[in-house]
Structure 1
Amino acid sequence: MPTIIVTHDVTDTDHWLASPRREDILPSLGASNIRTFVNPRDRTKVGLVMDIADLDVLFAALENPPDELSEAMSYDTVLPETMAILVSS
């Protein structure tokens, strides 16, 4: 099971940190062991580290997000165009 790092910007970091949405949505995409991170010098830059059961499922969902994922990202103030994903090698 690969581990990935996902970074992106948000417009409300405190809301993003407190939100339950990622724990509601990401496991359905095969994510587990989800941890959050915040850049201490620019709190609008955040990240996640997680294990992913199937990278193809995750990338397909990000390529053509279902409504539930789009709504969760919007609720969490994620700026999708800033997203970068790194996969453990």
Structure 2
Amino acid sequence: MPRLIATHEVDDVAHWSASPKREEVFGSVATDIHTFVDPNRPNQVGLSMEVADMAAFQAVMESEAGAEAMRYDGVHPDTIVVYVET
């Protein structure tokens, strides 16, 4: 199962860190989710997770539920960068 790392900017790191939406929406396609904050850039955050089915993960990312979770969490979608373990 590949591990992904995703980085992006958010409006409010404390809100994003405490949000239940990540697990609610992505818990069906990702496991072992960990969050990270860049101590030098206050609105830059990251996630690592294991994803068994990349097509299912992408479908969630493109779904209305995924978009709503990103809006709720204050994610700036245009800043998302995803890295896949090789």
Specify the alignment match of 2:25 in structure 1: 25
Deviation, structure 1 residue 55: 1.0
Superposed CA deviations along residues 11-47 of structure 1, whole A, max 9, x for unmatched, are: 111100011110111112x100000000001120000
Cross-structure match for 1:37: 36
* One-letter amino acid of the structure 1 residue matched with residue 47 of structure 2: L
Return 5+ residue gaps in structure 2 as ranges: none
Deviation at 1:59, TM superposition (A): 2.2
Match of residue 58 from structure 1 = 57
For 2:33 and 2:42, locate their aligned partners in 1 and report how far apart those are by CA, in whole Å.
Answer: 19
Contact 2:34–2:49 at 8 Å: present in 1 too? yes
Alignment partners' CA distance in 2, 1:57 and 1:72 = 16
Q: Supply the distance in 2 between the matched residues of 1:42 and 1:17 (Cα, whole angstroms).
A: 15
Judging by fraction of residues, say which structure has more strand. 1
TM-score (norm 1): 0.91
What is the TM-score with the length of structure 2 in the denominator?
A: 0.94
2:10 & 2:18 partners in 1: Cα distance?
13
CA distance in 2, matches of 1:37, 1:43: 11
Distance 1:80 1:72 in 2: 11
